[in-house]
Chain A
Amino acid sequence: MKYYLILALLMFVSSIVSAQNQFGILPVINTTIKLPNDWKINSKLEGRQLLKQHPFPVDKNDQVFERLDLEVVTNKALNSSNDVGLGYLIRRQEGKFLHRFIQQYAYTQKLYSSRLSHRFRTDQSFQEDEAVQFRLRYRASWEKPLSGLQVDPKEFYLKLNNEYFGILQASKTNMEIRGLAVVGYTIGENNRIETGADYRMEEIFTQLRHKLFLNIGFYHNF
Chain B
Amino acid sequence: MMKQINFVKITSSLQLLGLTLLLAPKLTFAQQKIEREYAIKATQVPDPALEFVNQTFDKKRIKWYAEESQKGRSIEAKVKQDGTVYSIEFDEKGNLQDIETLISLNSLPQDLQKAIMKTLEADFTRIKIHKMQRQWTGNAATLQQLASKKKPEEDYTTRYEIVIRGSKDRSTSDYEVLVDDYGKLISKSKIIQKDSPHLLF
Contact = CB atoms under 8 A, between A and B. Distances in A.
B11 A34 contact: no
B198 A90 contact: no
Interface stretch (A4-12, A13-21, A50-58, A142-150): A142-150
Contacts of B22: 29, 31, 43, 45
Nearest to A97: B11
Nearest to B172: A79
Contacts of A33: 21, 24, 27
A153 B197 CA distance: 15
B177 to A, nearest CB: 15
Interface residues on B, range: 35 or more
A147 B37 CA distance: 8
Contact of B38 (A41, A152, A222): A152
B191 to A, nearest CB: 7
B165 interface: yes
Contact of B21 (A31, A78, A81): A31
Nearest to B28: A222
A152 B195 CA distance: 11
Given A79-B165, A79-B174, A159 B193 contact: no
A149 B37 contact: yes
Interface in A80-130: 80-81, 83, 85, 88, 90, 97, 99, 104, 106, 108, 115, 117, 119, 128
Interface string B182-195: 00000000010111
B190 to A, nearest CB: 10
A41 B165 contact: no
A192 B38 contact: no
Given A75-B200, A106-B200, A149-B37, A221 B195 contact: yes
Contacts of B173: 79-80
Nearest to A83: B200
A30 interface: yes
Contacts of A85: 200
Dominant secondary structure at the A interface: strand
Interface residues of A, number: 54
Given A45-B18, A152-B37, A222-B24, A30 B201 contact: yes
Contacts of B3: 128
B5 interface: no
Interface in B37-75: 37-39, 65
A30 B174 contact: no
A222 to B, nearest CB: 5
A189 B34 contact: yes
A148 B27 contact: no
A128 to B, nearest CB: 8
B196 interface: yes
A120 to B, nearest CB: 11
A109 to B, nearest CB: 10
Contacts of A108: 196, 199-200
A219 B201 CA distance: 11
Contacts of A217: 198
B65 A148 contact: yes
Given A30-B197, A30-B201, A31-B22, A152 B27 contact: no
5 contacts: A31-B21, A34-B195, A40-B195, A119-B200, A148-B38
Given A32-B197, A43-B22, 15 more contacts: A30-B198, A30-B201, A33-B27, A34-B27, A75-B200, A75-B201, A80-B165, A104-B200, A128-B3, A141-B199, A143-B199, A148-B38, A153-B36, A217-B198, A222-B24
State the 8 A-B residue pairs at the shortest beta-carbon distance, nearest first: A117-B199, A79-B172, A152-B36, A148-B38, A70-B18, A43-B21, A141-B199, A80-B193
